[in-house]
Structure 1
Amino acid sequence: MADPTPLVSIAGASLSAEINPLGAELHSLRDGEGRDLLWDGDPAFWTGRAPILFPVVGAVAGGVIRVDGRGYPMAKHGFARRKTWTLVEHDAAAATFRLLPDEETRSAYPFDFRLELRFVIDDKGLSLSATLTNPGQAPLPASFGFHPALRWPLPGGAPRDRHIVRFAEPEPDPIRRIDRDGLLRPAPEPSPVEGRAILVRDAMFEDDAMIFDSLSSRALSFGAAGGTILDIAFPNMPFLGIWTKPGAPYLCIEPWHGIADPEDFAGEYRDKPGVIEVAPGRDHIFAMRIDIGSATLLG
């Protein structure tokens, strides 16, 4: 039986990737030696690989968003990851996918929109840019997030317990956690960052994701001396989640423009933390980049 959503391949000198039109989800990312940098979706731990989060990031209170006083059912992380996107452009090193509203999306998100996600591999890395266009006559509220699950350990032989996340800037501000319903707890927790670095450990994720909602950095590195190091940039994404299931061989590094509802949030979707509004006829671009790096940030 034929695959209803065949993968789309792109490649360059140092990387190759496959994208699944279902969710416009990065399905594989391999270095020039063919080694996997991205999690493979093993259902023993988690079937995701790199879902796209739209039009919400995280959970919403009561499972609904409120637009002009009316409630609309909204699943955690939105609907984009479960929709089949249209491939609108493809060449050897780039691919662009488009998502448009339909009856199903309007039942949860009563807005017209056009969302295009472009993947480009160049000499060093992979760029992802999501362009949200507002074709309507009123401001378009939205959140968006990337959710790539990277191998932990990364290929190259460095031990798992030596892997570090090192931020471009010091990150002393407290972090946030979510409750059992996925909502943002009111009390912050001390930052796990020492200077600019986190030596990542499974125990850090026994209470789910670490959420950075007061972030100075717009770039970080992940890896270990003696192995592969990835440089990750997210120039216009003000929030960051770092997550795994304890014991799972992946680490999700998730640049977000949005966040889960606070536990006591009962307001309009437009007023939800992290939501932007795109003016009629205008675009907003969300971007991140993954490069095969050096030891500069790991230091």
Structure 2
Amino acid sequence: MSDRVKLGSGDLSVVVKAEGAELASLKDAAGREFLWQAEAAWPRHSPVLFPFVGRLRDDTLRIGHEVYPMGQHGFARDSRFELVEQGNAACRFLLVDSAATRAVFPFGFRLEIAYALHGASLTVSYTVTNPGEGTLPFSLGAHPAFRWPLPGAGGKAAHRIEFEQDESGPVWRLDDNGLIDATPQPLPVHGRNLGLREELFRPSAMILLNPASRRLRYTAQGAPALAVSWQGFSHLGLWMKPGAEFLCIEPWAGYADPAQFWGDIWAKPGMEMLGAGESRRYMWRVTVG
């Protein structure tokens, strides 16, 4: 299997890596790149967050009295997926549990990720299936890093996010251990608009738990706007690394351990629970222009 899959619709072209089933390029018909190219400041493009979003306390998964090592965002982003379907404008990848995954996450699972181009839109779909006899606890998140500034735009300060709905916040932040801080902050919106500047991200990512919107526009004068929408995901993370030229717009089903949480996986806030034999689907879409 090739390490990279190329898809095209005429309006868009994308590249997806088998390693992590990770989106690695998103270009319009003019050849303008909209995705961060994994430069030194952050060597990823759009990692898949599974079976956890964010960090667990002490990077440790607790199941009753048993403990397992679990790094930030889980292992899917560093796992090689199997390419199970490919066409000119669509492909599908699969990751299933193995001896290696069960050593750190003792549950059976199937994670399918599908990419499909339709005109100027890319749709990314995730299907999580529980093949086991008990409940499957998990979190799932998307983490696409879009260029900031956008192609054709001026400086970073010209950019904003326009939410679909009025958003009153609050914004949750991460503490020094990567856990959800106990004290939220106001969301600095004007109407439905969030003006973007690096100072917003110097404390940490901005986390909106259960926002009203399921759609937003990332836009700047002189540049094609990106319309981002999602289904199945309940939360939204916004993140950039100050000094770098990307903005991550991240639909999440789950989030990091709260700083005041000391329980095990069955009590962890925000977890998805999937019954035996059940499947659940999640989706996000980006439209250019």
TM-score normalised per structure 1: 0.94
In 2, the alpha carbon distance for the partners of 1:219 and 1:36 equals 22
1:36 match: 33
1:5, distance to aligned residue in structure 2 (A): 5.7
Which residue of structure 1 aligns with residue 60 of structure 2? 64
1:208-227 matches, within 5 Å, as 208-227=204-223
8 Å contact from structure 2 (residues 160, 196) kept in 1: yes
Matches within 5 A, 1:135-174: 135-174=131-170
Residues 178, 209 of structure 1: 8 Å contact kept: yes
Alignment-derived partner of residue 71 in structure 2: 75
**Equivalent residue, structure 2, for 1:270:** 266
Q: How far, CA to CA, are the matches of 1:275 and 1:168 in structure 2?
A: 25
1:296 aligns to what? none
Number of residues of Structure 1 aligned to a counterpart in Structure 2:
289
The reply on whether 1:116 has 2:76 as its aligned counterpart is: no
What is the match of residue 8 of structure 2?
11
Question: Take 1:107 and 1:90, find their aligned partners in 2: how far apart are those partners?
Answer: 31
Would the aligned equivalents of 1:173 and 1:214 in 2 still touch at CA under 8 Å?
Answer: no
**Partner SS state of residue 10, structure 2:** coil
Are residue 257 (structure 1) and residue 253 (structure 2) matched? yes
Name the aligned partner's letter for residue 166 of structure 2.
P
Aligned twin of 2:193: 197
Asked if structure 2 preserves the Cα contact closer than 8 Å seen for 1:13 and 1:122, the reply is no
Supply the distance in 1 between the matched residues of 2:164 and 2:106 (Cα, whole angstroms). Answer: 38
Alignment of 1:97 onto 2:82? no
Identity of aligned residues (%): 40
SS at match of 1:270: coil
For 2:122, what is the secondary structure of its paired residue?
A: strand
Are the equivalent residues in 2 in contact too, given 1:270–1:276 (CA < 8 A)? no
RMSD: 1.2
Per the alignment, residue 286 of structure 1 pairs with: 282
* Whole-angstrom CA distance in 2 between matches of 1:85 and 1:181: 30
Q: Identify unmatched segments of 5+ residues in structure 1.
A: 294-299
Q: 1:22 and 1:229 mapped to 2: Cα distance?
A: 29
1:25 to 22, 28, 34: 22
Structure 1 contact 172–195 (Cα < 8 Å) conserved: no
Following TM superposition, the consecutive aligned residue runs of length 4 or more in structure 1 with deviations greater than 2 angstroms are 156-160
The CA deviation at 1:138 is 0.9
Give TM-score scaled by structure 2 length.
0.97
Partner of 1:238: 234
Deviation of the 1:65 alpha carbon:
1.5
> CA contact under 8 A between 2:153 and 2:221: conserved in structure 1?
no
SS in 1 for 2:200: helix
CA 1:123–1:203: 2 relative to 1, 3 Å: same
Superimposed CA distance per residue, residues 118-172 of structure 1 (whole angstroms, 9 cap, x where no aligned partner): 0000112000001001111111111000000000111123442111111101111
CA contact (8 A) 1:100 1:114 kept: yes
Give the distance between the partners of 2:68 and 2:261, measured in 1 at CA: 15
CA spacing shift, 1:7–1:217, aligned 2, 3 Å:
same
1:262 partner SS? coil
Please report how far the alpha carbon of residue 273 of structure 1 lies from its aligned counterpart in structure 2 after TM superposition.
2.0
Gaps of 5+ in 2: none
After TM superposition, the structure 1 stretch with the greater mean CA deviation from structure 2, 221-230 or 17-26, is: 221-230
